[in-house]
Amino acid sequence: MILVAAIVSSLVSIPYYAITPGTAQSVIKLIGVPRAKLRRHKGEVLLVDVELTPLRAIEWPYFALNPNAQIIGSSDLLGPETAQQYDTEGVLDMADAQQAATVVALRQLGYAVRAIPQGALMYAFIPGSPAEHYLAVGEVITGVDRKPVTTAVALSLALARYRPGDSVAMHLLSYPARKRETVRVRLGAWRIKGKGRAATLVCPIYGQKSRYPLLHISPATGKRMPAVPCIGSFDAETSYRLSKLPFKVDLSNEGIIGPSAGLAFTLGLMQRLDPYDLTGGHKVAATGTMSVTGAVGPVGGVAQKTIAVRRSGAQIFLVPPAEYKTAKAHAGPKLKVYAVSSIAQALRILRSYGGKLPAKGPSR
């Protein structure tokens, strides 16, 4: 009976994931630039990640007793999305992180590089919505009927001109091929599910009966409307394309997904290209999202990341402000933790440790 129970528990999946320390590896090996531009330094920048393991029943006791593991429910991690959608979003996040790191690092080194808005990225969908029915995660909406769309806000404003039930032509870039396509989408109507702080918005396909009341204030215009049209995409982001780069930059992820490598890639690319050692000869780990404006944003799994950084022997760990207390609590006596909200702040801290940074001269 024990043997049968063990076999069954080894096959049965349970709705939980385990987050455990991953690796803190040098980001340099993930960065490719022309040989003539390549610089070598004593110091290094580390990219840190975590291991995310879907649990089976037999694995629960092991991870529950592991002091370095965090067990999280599938619903808390995935929300209303499938595991496949979550993975696709992670790939998109990594691509955005690499793009932002490229533009910010090159700008810091004086190169004239622009991030040009090209549309609204379809990031996540509300279950049962028109977006889930007609569109796909990763597609970029570039126009609604004859109106161009270059940002996520522009998409909301464009949709505000219509009524629920209207059929609109959405011009898009497909994913992952990025081919131009046109899809007709019948708009739904925003409805309010729940009350108070627990209230959320849903966007059922038009014509379906619903017990949830209609939303009457348009998030896009602030005007009161009989019903507010929607497609049911939430967390939509602005998609960018970069202007022509001065030389080829290749950032590899080696299977790592998510947005948290943005800061590490930015610092690593600068270290790879500049004759000065911005780490001051130190081993510097970093985690945090990176925007095209140079802002550093929050990430997850910082407790486990800090353990991985501590094991790597790094002396400095740069984290977003929201994660500072968690990282500090797991850092131990030797690892110095600093909160940074921008690339400029990160560079000031490295300068205090002897990092030699380029003076931003005229654009090259």
d(CA 34, CA 250): 10
Question: In terms of C-beta density within 10 A (0-12 exposed, 13-18 middle, 19 or more buried), how is residue 208 classed?
Answer: exposed
The β-bridge partners of 242 are: 115
d(CA 171, CA 93): 22
* Count of residues in the chain: 364
- CATH 2.30.42.10 residue spans of the chain: 116-239
- CATH 3.30.230 residue spans of the chain: 18-78+94-111+244-352
Q: What's the fold here for domain 116-239?
A: Pdz3 Domain (2.30.42)
d(CA 356, CA 276): 5
Report how far apart, in Å, the C-alpha atoms of 125 and of each of 55, 231, 315 are.
25, 9, 41
Look up the pTM and report it. Answer: 0.89
Taking only the tens of pLDDT, the chain with its 364 residues reads 554 444 544 556 788 899 999 999 999 899 999 999 988 888 899 999 999 889 888 888 888 889 998 999 988 887 777 778 888 888 999 999 999 999 999 999 999 999 999 999 998 899 899 999 999 999 999 999 999 999 999 999 999 999 999 999 999 999 999 999 999 999 999 999 998 888 889 999 888 888 899 998 887 778 888 899 999 987 789 999 999 999 999 998 888 888 999 999 999 999 999 888 899 999 999 999 999 999 999 999 999 999 999 999 999 999 999 999 999 999 999 999 999 999 999 999 999 999 887 655 444 5
Asked: is 18-78+94-111+244-352 a CATH 3.30.450 domain? The reply is no
